[in-house]
A and B are shown apart, each in its own frame.
Chain A
Amino acid sequence: MRKKLPVLLLLLTSCLISISSFAQSVTIKGSVKGTSNGESLPAVSVTVKGSSAGVYTNDKGEFSITVPSLPVTLIISSIGFESKEVTVSSASQAVNVTLATASSLGEEIVVSATRVAIRKIESPVTIEQVSAANIRNSPASTYYEVVQNLKGVDMLTSSLTFKTPTTRGFNGSGNTRFNQITDGMDNQAPGLNFSVGSIIGLSELDVDNMELLPGASSALYGPGGMNGTLLINSKSPFKYQGFSFQVKQGIMHADRKYRQEISPYFNWNIRWAEKIGERAAFKITSEFVQAKDWLAADQRNYQRLGTTGKIVPGTRSTDPNYDGINMYGDETTIDLRQVFTAIGAQAPFLVPYMNSLSGSPINVSRTGYAERDLVDPNTVNFKLGGAFHYKITDDIEAIAMGYIGSGNSVYTGSDRYSFKNFIIKQYKLELNAKNWFVRGWATQEDAGESYNATVTTRLANERIKPSTQWYGEYGQTYLAGKLSGLTDIDAHNNARAFADAGAPKPGSTQFKQIFDQVRSVPISKGGGLFIEKSDLYVAEGQYNFSHLTGGVVDILVGGDFRRFVLDSEGTLFADSAAPIPINQFGGYVQASKKLFDDRLNLTVSGRYDKNENFDGRFTPRATALLKLNKNNSIRLSYQTAYRFPSTQQQWINLRVGGDVLLIGGVQELRDYYKFNSNPIYTLESVQANAPKVYDYKDLKPENVTSYELGYKGVVADNKLLIDVYGYYGQYENFLARALVVQSKTGNIGGLASASTRQVYSVPVNTEAIVKTYGYGLGLEYKLPGNFVITVNGSSDVLQDVPAGYVAFFNSPKYRANVILGNSMLGKRKNIGFNIAYRWQDAYFFEGDFATGEVPAIQTLDAQVSYKIPKTKSLFKLGANNLLNQYYYHAPGNPSIGGLYYVSYSYNIF
């Protein structure tokens, strides 16, 4: 792709140069206002009937359109308003139009369901949509949180700026089963494997709409969308023009429960878009967020068992092997009997005494530090984006676009990671026509000074006092304590106090110096810094043949090529020698046919993908939409999805806690560790003293097959929108990890002792077929007086999970939302409010970092707003988690409290 990008660029520029100027004919000028309060309406579409020419009103509600001759009929339309047709016969007078607000339930246009623009009500699969107006009216502090109010959505909050939405289960902050696509670009970080949508990508004011496809969606969007796909689309600079900004100032930690001070929250947004002449337009967007982050302060004791574990009773002073969830450094643990062996060599007279203490392991962990003392509380997120659009013809638009996101954030993966001064960039070149598009885009990540909090603290502990010394002192003091008649726990605590004596206090300059030193050394060189400079290059295109074949059947064809270039300098992947490239390509075709007077719409699509490390994969999809009438439809779909093992599941080569080697599944790594000549055994069999050679099969993509039935319709005098669905799915070849053991000595005897064996965590496909089903119901009711109430509830269940198998399903069985709002209250209809109540059931969360019960969560968000149309101003007073009732989405993740803000927005309508 490095070679291909310039070629594409060249192609694009040649197109631009070849543009001939069009003869100027007649220019019609005019403006559009709303009837309700007389405010001027921006971004209203003004098109010439019978032609593809069209413009949008600017931020003052004015438009100017050039037509070849008069008279013409202009179609004036905007979402939420009744369309109007105006015949213009003279260019001398301005065309002033007023549009009446329309009850538009179910009228929204969606694209992502079929990759073709259709009415939402006619979507053959379940689809949810968030419009710019929804974002504007929502009390949520960022647009990503608005997604939470859609039915069937779970959110995982790793930190203030790191939120990961998911549908239909498998929630987690590194969710590789849910695609997020911004302006056609997948925003999964190529090396880190998580979606970075909430920290890079669109600024809030630039979001035109978000479309959510819950469920399997690989057939059109490629591998990855096992559970759903979120598509976020930005505002065209042609449509939304002018300068707008928004200043949100808030407070967090109002009760000082987790931070010492009430801390400010800043969220500033600007967007500037202008048309340059008739054919060119640009936009610049930026967002800045700064706050003291939510704090993960789960002090509960965690008992690790390989890569899983459980929460157990115990505190630092009552469990010598205490390992607090959000305490780091205390993962280092040994059996004190090892120390006794060393003491016994020096003092043989104590051996019998120590032996009689050693009935069971005396596990002792080192003293940890709390997250609050380690991770920078300042979360900063800076986004900068820009795009240049050029209409080569009325139908062909060229777009050059770039996003950059940087800052500090905290992420929960296998450990807690502090992202410090990360930079993620995305660039895109696109040619977009009525029937086709081609685009090339790239994602480049640079983890900056990011580090693994667990590893770094453990290493800092080693720097403060090497474990050999620490445990030696501990063991001696413990024995001395026992010999002086102390109770066992007192002897332990005494020993800890002695071994820790002189260690720098958390938060001290001395500690910070040591910590900063360790975190600046790459993991591969014995530090905590991870280097991550992986890239992803993609070229894709699509052609809609419907205009040629539409008489018989609508046909859509597309394809893409992806090239990952993994570059972690040996800190994450097995790439110390050179960056690792991975190529992957895919293509799809979709045919749809309308039958019985358009009452039945059948669509069949299929997609084939091939990754150089895996066999090719075909995913079919078939949908049927039965239109009962214009506003009621029944949808039925059969969908499949799959995903290739992530880049980490392919190439990771990382030593993690407990001295386990986390490796990828490619043949090269298996060869490197000589699994062929020096066999690996299952850990359970080794622990049971009956080593069994592990049958390590080739890694396959995992896949899901899902059936869905749904109904969507507007009833009760166009006042009630009902959307209901039920699905059933089956997962196969789940990608998970297994622990295996290899002898370091080359013979089976080496397996017996920890020092002569190596434990690997290898990616595997589990053999079990796991079933999932769920349903959801959404109601949107337009009450009199512009009140709208939305109620939805949904359920997701995973079934037939074999005993002892960790599925990471991580989804509450039930969840529900109630949203009540009105954006046109008061005499001048300029007062708005919105209250959103969310409830989700308790659920059991399984994660690499921590596993445990998550209690039920209820939150209440609310906002009131006041609009001054004259100055295009909007004041808003809002609260997320109004009652400041702390909750957490998963053990080890932060407790989220109330965020209260006031905002002033200019020209955001």
Chain B
Amino acid sequence: MKLTSHMKKIVSYSLVALLLLSSCNKDISAPVPNTFPTPTGQSIGEIVNTNASFSLLKYSLNKAGLLTALTNKNSVFTVFAPNDAAFALSGFGTTAAIDQIPVAQLTAILNYHLIPGQKITSAAIPTTFPNVQMPTGLIFPPPNTSPLARFSIFPSRRGSAAWANNIPVTAADIPVANGVIHQVAAIIAPPSKLLLDTIKNDPDLDYFEAALVRADSGLATTAAPSFQYYLGNPTIAPGANFTVFAPNNAAFQALIYFLVYQQVFALTGSAATADAQANGAVAAGPAFLSTNNVTTALIRGVVAYHIMAQRAFSVNFSSTATNYQTFVNGSIAAHPGIAISSTITSGFGSALSVKGVGNPSAAAAIPTAAGIDRPAVNGNFFKINQVLLPQ
């Protein structure tokens, strides 16, 4: 009996010992989630909120309801931020002026200043042509239904100077927790119209419009290679990038007068007849280009010579005349192209000259109140005062 109780003790002690030992198996541990530490430092939203020189931007972003998104330190944005001076330069120097803009339009304008999801520092912006194309926060209107179809912005850099489209960056690479801020000198207005529409709407470009129509004669205007398709089709617009040098009516009239005069004078030797016929040709208006006075091939060649297959702003051109390829190079690869030079004043393109091979002198870009660049959805265009002659 003694023995048994002794054994019982042993058994119970060992049982207790075993229980104690046995209580710490590690079962499979749960997977450890990856953590995404919130970056330190001020967010875009916080800087806009606190920096007094961004008071109008802050006011606008608040109005558009975009400030919250820019304050989230876990998302990333590249912001081209107009400061108060920039707002003023663009004619919106007061909150009252901003209030004049419908909210939807204001939101669209502000969205056009953002590259979401990306931190594009100035070092990442190429210094050579063509410009890098970056999607913005502004979604394309129908018929483009893809959320990937965005209005693009074109940052560029030459030396220490940088631009977004044609607007100079006044302070690049302001570091923020959630991306980067580039301060710009003016509001970067999002384009609203296609090149073709702009051309059609401008009565001063009636000749150019007629030339486009004539150049496309015999072609379906809803498909390549028609010019009207390239410059005016909304479906391909998000990916289309053109630079058009559109001669105004006076330029066409001068050319028509000159050509007719020259031809008639050569035939008749009479300056008066030549002048009368040339004036008559001019008086015929743009319809002159639709008639057999000129060949389709000739018009096609001339139109092609006025279009570049890349989007260039005045600030992207060299200050000395440099040759750029046009659509003509699509059929004549060795063609020298057009010689372009531009003048930059305070960061903005102030003058642009463009010379065709057959022109004795260079044409000049005709400015608007906003400058010489005329940004469109699918490209940029300049109105010039001469027709460029490819030969």
Contact = CB atoms under 8 A, between A and B. Distances in A.
B375 interface: no
A348 B241 CA distance: 11
Given A356-B118, A483-B148, A835-B18, A314 B28 contact: no
B22 A356 contact: no
Interface in A479-496: 479-489, 491
Contact of A347 (B7, B29, B31, B148): B148
A491 B117 CA distance: 9
B22 A888 contact: no
Nearest to A859: B22
B32 A314 contact: yes
B181 to A, nearest CB: 15
A485 B27 contact: no
B27 A886 contact: yes
B27 A317 contact: no
B77 interface: yes
A837 B135 contact: no
Interface residues of A, number: 57
B31 A314 contact: yes
B19 interface: yes
B72 A352 contact: no
Max chain A C-beta neighbours (<10 A), residue from B3, B18, B134, B241: B18
Contacts of B337: none
B21 A839 contact: yes
B85 to A, nearest CB: 27
Given A348-B239, A349-B133, A476 B148 contact: yes
Interface residues of B, number: 52
A324 B30 CA distance: 11
Interface string A469-483: 000000010011111
Contacts of A860: 18-19, 22
B177 to A, nearest CB: 13
Given A314-B32, A314-B33, A887-B25, A347 B238 contact: yes
B385 to A, nearest CB: 32
Nearest to A475: B148
Contacts of A895: 27-28
B137 to A, nearest CB: 7
Interface string B49-77: 00000000000000000000100101111
Contacts, number: 154
Interface in A340-358: 343, 347-350, 352-353, 356-357
A319 B18 contact: no
Interface string B100-127: 0000000000000011111010001000
Contacts of A306: none
15 contacts: A318-B33, A319-B34, A343-B148, A353-B115, A353-B133, A353-B134, A356-B124, A480-B148, A485-B137, A486-B117, A489-B36, A787-B10, A858-B22, A859-B25, A895-B28
Given A784-B3, A785-B3, A835-B18, A820 B11 contact: yes
Contacts of A481: 117
Give the interface centre of A349, A476, A860 by most chain B CB atoms within 10 Å: A349
A352 B133 contact: yes
Contacts of A685: none
B366 to A, nearest CB: 29
B391 interface: no
Interface in B130-176: 132-135, 137, 146-150, 152
A859 B24 CA distance: 10
Contact of A820 (B14, B21, B72, B133): B14
B283 interface: no
A299 B28 CA distance: 9
Consensus secondary structure, chain A interface: mixed
B2 to A, nearest CB: 10
Given A313-B34, A318-B33, A860-B22, A483 B116 contact: yes
A687 to B, nearest CB: 26
Which of B10, B23, B35, B135 has its CB near the most chain A CB atoms (within 10 A)? B135
Contacts of B124: 356
Contacts of A483: 116-117, 135, 137, 147-148, 150
Nearest to B178: A487
B165 to A, nearest CB: 15
A298 interface: yes
A485 B25 contact: no
Contacts of A482: 116-118
A860 B29 CA distance: 21
A314 B34 CA distance: 5
A783 B11 CA distance: 12
A1 interface: no
Contacts of B11: 820
Nearest to A349: B239
B118 A350 contact: no
A151 interface: no
Contacts of A787: 7, 10
Given A317-B33, A837-B22, 17 more contacts: A299-B31, A301-B31, A313-B32, A313-B33, A347-B146, A480-B146, A480-B147, A482-B116, A482-B118, A487-B36, A488-B76, A488-B117, A785-B7, A787-B7, A858-B22, A859-B22, A891-B28
A63 to B, nearest CB: 36
A480 B140 CA distance: 13
Contacts of B116: 482-485
Contact of A855 (B25, B133, B241): B25
A885 interface: yes
Interface in B198-242: 238-239, 241
Interface in A842-884: 855-860, 882-883
A695 B22 CA distance: 51
Contact of B21 (A301, A784, A858, A891): A858
B4 interface: yes
A343 B134 CA distance: 15
Interface in A823-847: 835, 837, 839
A482 B22 CA distance: 51
